[in-house]
Structure formats: C-alpha cells, structure tokens
Amino acid sequence: MNKEIKNLLLFCAVYPLFVFGQKDKKIMFSVVNPALIERKQELVSIAWKDIVSKYPSIDTADFKVINALTKKEIPFQLEYRGQANIQNLLLPIDAAANSISDFYLQEGKPAIINSKTYCRYVPERKDDFAWENDKIAFRMYGQALESTNENAYGMDVWVKRTDRLVINERYKRGEYHVDHGDGMDYYHVGFSLGAGNIAPYVNDSIYYSKNYHQWKVLDNGPLRSAFQLVYDEWDVAGKAVKVIKTISLDAGSQLSRVEVNYSYANGDSLPVVVGIIKRKEPGIILQDEQNGIMGYWEPQHGIDGITGTGTIFLKPVVKMKVTNEHLLAQLTARKEESFIYYTGAAWNKAGLITNAQTWFSYLQLFQQLLQQPLQVKLM
C-alpha cells in the first residue's frame, strides 16, 4: 500500500466523510471556551442558516453530531423560535477552561434523547402557564385567575428533587402543595413580583399589569423550551403600556432567560423593577449592583426546606434596595429594545445547592459565563 493511500485512510478515520449533495464534504466546527472556567453541558447555538449556506443539501432527519476527539455522539435540538423554519442548532457542550473543541456532522439517524425541558398552558388550573427542566419548575398566572381570591401576580417556583419532568403529574394529582417525593409548591407569591417578575416602577410604586391573556409555545424541548406571554394594555402613571415576555429554560439550568419588550406611546424609556419577594423571617441577601446580581436565601420553611432565588442582569442596574416586601433592582427599559435578564431558584432538599454561599456562588459563576459566551467557528 503506497504512502498516499495510507494517509488518505488515516484522514478518513479521523474525519469521516459523507455526502450532503453531489460532493463529499466534512461539516466541521469548533467551539471555543474563552473563559478560564470549565463549562458543563452548556447549550451553544449555531445559526442554521450558516450551516445551510455551506451545505444546502443537509437532511435534517438524517445527521448526527460527533465529538471529534472522543467520537461520542452529542445530542441536539433544532430550535424554531416559533417560526416555520429551523433557526438554530442547539448542542450541550462540555468544555475545559480556555479550550477549543472540534465537532463534525455525520450522516445517520441521531439517537433518541429524553426531554429535559417542558412547558405548557394549563387551562384546567385557571390558565396557568408552567415550565420546567431537570432541576426546577416555575409558573405564571393567567386571565382566569384574576376573578378569584387566589389571584397572584409574580413568578411562582415549584421546587424539585428529581430530574424527571413532573408538571403534568402534579396537575393531574391536584396536590402540588404536597411533596410526593419529587418536590412541591410551597413558594408564596400573592400580590408581589414573586421570584423575579418585572414591572414598571414610578415614584416608588410598582405598576402591576393584569395576568397574561395570550400565550404561544415557541419550542418545547428536548434541551430548551421557550414561550411567549402577552399582557393587555394597562395604565402606568398616565402612560398606556403593553408588554410581551419571552421566557426560555435550558436543560441543567436553575435560571430562566426572560426577554421583555415594552411598547408605549410617550417617551423613549420606562423605569422598571425586577423583584424577589421577602419572607417575614430573616433571610440572607446578596445585592451586587456593580455586577448585576441579586440573590436571596430564604429562611427555613418548616419541614419544606429552603428556597434560594436570584436574578442576573445584562444591563446596568440603576439601584438595588430592600423594602418591607421585596428585594428590588431598579433598571431602565427602552422602547424598541429587548430587556433581557435571568431569574430562577434552587431548593436545598434537592441536595445540590444547600446553603446561601453555594447559591450565591452559582449566581456569580452564571454571570461570569454570560460575560464570556462560548464561540462557534464553522469551517
């Protein structure tokens, strides 16, 4: 066997070739971790149009993603973001600190993976909208709850100590305030912002909207679920305001991403607050205005345990403060601009985050990784 053939066989063994059209091509890409921090199962997004522009004949039902070093298959999700066509390829990546990892696409049926995220409209429970992943669950309240004595405004937390998806089981049982071994709903919201909801804030007053009146699922797993909630116009100190909230949750994350779009007629900006409800008993508070991190480790709630809540901001914080009811972060939302932040929770009885120091460290690390996102280079 001559030298050229040996080299060709070696090349094919390292980088398999396959057909996406008339010519053989290898679809290679690298993921760069610029941070001096290891990443674990962090979702990276590759624009689908960039893949198609290089390889227009790719079959969306017949390809796998392979780690070039380990040769292991990587699960993926095709993200639509509510559109008819694919928008992004989502991949959970492990990356060493300050590293470059290579991957390639290869023809073949991808392995079936279990969903780790889920969201749905819940008409049987007064128009709730609930979402969860393998770590935590949340819900927002809908129109049907407004006319009842159960009405509430903020974001609710459903704590979990299982990686199973449990929302449907809990609603079916109708006993989500009871821990059946997988967690429960003991978080109190009431007429507050709950675990990180947002509202206009004028002259030290929070201007709550009514509950959401329209909803739309954008994607539903297996690695990211996303949806939109639409709120009807309401009066904010004489200004008519509308808002759309786009919320997503990735597998493995304690925090949801919240993208808020306000619309109004007068002025270019709107003062807002993101809030976390306080408990009557003393808890442990973190308010880091400079880095845009707000955290709260609640007091023990009897046998139910302890919930940690927290928010992370991408835009400058005007001020953080503590009131009788809330931890508040004051910020400015601007017309025609998306206002993005992250908010979420953890439960000590899940066994992973069991004290305030660990929770605040989680929030600080999350913020650092947001500042140094994974980078993709398509070859």
In a domain, 222, yes or no: yes
In a domain, 323, yes or no: yes
80 & 216 share domain = no
The average confidence (pLDDT) of the chain is 92
Residue 139 sits in the same domain as residue 99: no
Whether residues 106 and 148 share a domain: the answer is no
- What pLDDT does residue 260 have? 98
**Residue 21, pLDDT score:** 43
Q: Does 12 fall in a domain? A: no
91, 236: one domain: no
Does 246 lie in the same domain as 205? yes
pLDDT the model gives residue 27: 80
**pLDDT confidence of residue 134:** 98
Q: Is residue 127 in some structural domain? A: yes
Q: How confident is the model at residue 7 (pLDDT cuts 50, 70, 90)?
A: very low
Burial (CB < 10 A; 0-12, 13-18, 19+), residue 71, is exposed
Kindly report whether the peptide bond that precedes residue 222 is cis, defined as omega within 30 degrees of 0.
Answer: yes
CATH code, domain carrying 304:
2.70.98
Regarding whether 333 and 262 lie in a shared domain, the answer is yes
Q: Of 113, 135, 160, which one is at a domain's C-terminal end?
A: 113
- Domain identity same for 109 and 163: no
pLDDT digits (tens, 9 = 90+) for 209-253: 999 999 999 999 999 999 999 999 999 999 999 999 999 999 999
Range of the domain at 231: 117-371
pTM as predicted = 0.92
376 neighbors 31 (Cβ within 8 angstroms): yes
Is residue 377, in this structure, part of any structural domain at all? Answer: no
Give the strands of the sheet with 339-347, arranged side by side. Answer: 214-220, 224-236, 239-250, 255-264, 339-347, 307-313, 293-297, 284-288
**DSSP letter, residue 181:** S
User: Of 92, 86, 90, 16, which is closest to residue 58 (Cα–Cα)?
Assistant: 86
What are the residues facing 310 on neighbouring strands?
295, 344
Are 101 and 184 in the same domain? no
Residue 189's contacts (CB-CB under 8 Å, 6 or more residues apart) are 152, 153, 154, 155, 156, 195, 277
Number of domains in the chain: 2
* Paired tokens of 354: 């069991």
Shared-domain flag, residues 71 and 191: no
Q: Is 252 left (phi over 0), alpha (psi -120 to 50) or beta?
A: left
Instruction: Give CA separation, 369 vs 39, 43, 175, 317, in Å.
Output: 8, 12, 37, 19
What pLDDT score does 25 carry? Answer: 57
Domain boundary among 86, 113, 140: 113
Q: Tell whether 164 and 301 lie within a shared domain.
A: yes
Are 273 and 134 contained in the same domain?
A: yes
CA distance 121 to 333: 27
- pLDDT tens, 340-379? 999 999 999 999 999 999 999 999 999 999 999 999 999 8
Same domain, 180 and 278: yes
What's the average model confidence in pLDDT over 305-328? 96
Output the pLDDT for position 268: 87
CATH of residue 45: 2.60.40.1180
pLDDT reading at 196 higher than 50: yes
* Domain termination site, one of 61, 86, 113: 113
Q: Residue 6 — very low, low, confident or very high, per pLDDT cuts 50/70/90?
A: very low
Q: Note the helical H segments in 114-175.
A: 167-173
Task: Output the DSSP codes for 250-295.
Answer: ETT-SEEEEEEEEEESS-SEEEEEEEEEPPSS--EEEEETTTTEEE
